[in-house]
Amino acid sequence: MADIVALIDYFKKLQRAIDNADLTFFKYKILKKTKIDDLLVCTLAVLPDCFKRAMKKRLNTTTLPSVSCYNRLTKVIKKPFVLNKDYYIVDYGEINSMIKTIKQSIERDIMTLEREEN
C-alpha cells in the first residue's frame, strides 16, 4: 500500500512540474528533460513487478486503464522540443488527463494484477 501512495505522490509531482513549466505556448508546455526523466524513473522504480509485466504485454485498455495510460504517457511526454533537445514539449491537456486517469485507477489495477498472479 505504501508503494501506491508513493506512486500517486510521484504523479502529483509530475503534474506540478508540468504546471510550473519553463514556457507555455498555447496548449503546449516546454519542460526540462532532466526533471521529467527523473520523475519517470522514480515512478518506474516504485511500480510493482506485476504492473511492469502488464506494461510489456500491452493489456486491454478497458480492463486496466492505468497500464495503457502509463504506456501512452511515457511515449507522449518524451517528445523532444525542436529548438533545444534538452527540453520536451507536451500537450498540457492530454498529459493532465492521462495523469488523472492513472491516479484514479492505479490502486485498483495493481490489486487486480496481483490477484491474477496468485
Which pLDDT tens digit goes with each residue over 46-61?
999 888 888 888 655 5
**Cα angle: 3, vertex 6, 52; to 5 degrees:** 55
Question: What 8-state DSSP symbol labels residue 21?
Answer: -
Work out the percent of the chain whose per-residue pLDDT is above 70: 94
pLDDT value at position 53? 87
- What value does the mean pLDDT take over residues 72-89? 92
pLDDT value at position 54? 86
- What value does the mean pLDDT take over residues 32-43? 94
- What value does the mean pLDDT take over residues 20-39? 91
pLDDT surpassing 80 at residue 16: yes
CB-based contact 88:78 (threshold 8 Å): yes
pLDDT surpassing 70 at residue 113: yes
pLDDT value at position 60? 56
- What value does the mean pLDDT take over residues 59-64? 67
Q: Could you tell me where the DSSP H helices lie in the chain?
A: 2-19, 33-46, 49-57, 65-76, 92-117
pLDDT surpassing 90 at residue 94: yes
CB-based contact 113:51 (threshold 8 Å): yes
pTM as predicted: 0.87
- Which residue range is the domain that position 73 belongs to? 2-117
Domain count, the chain: 1
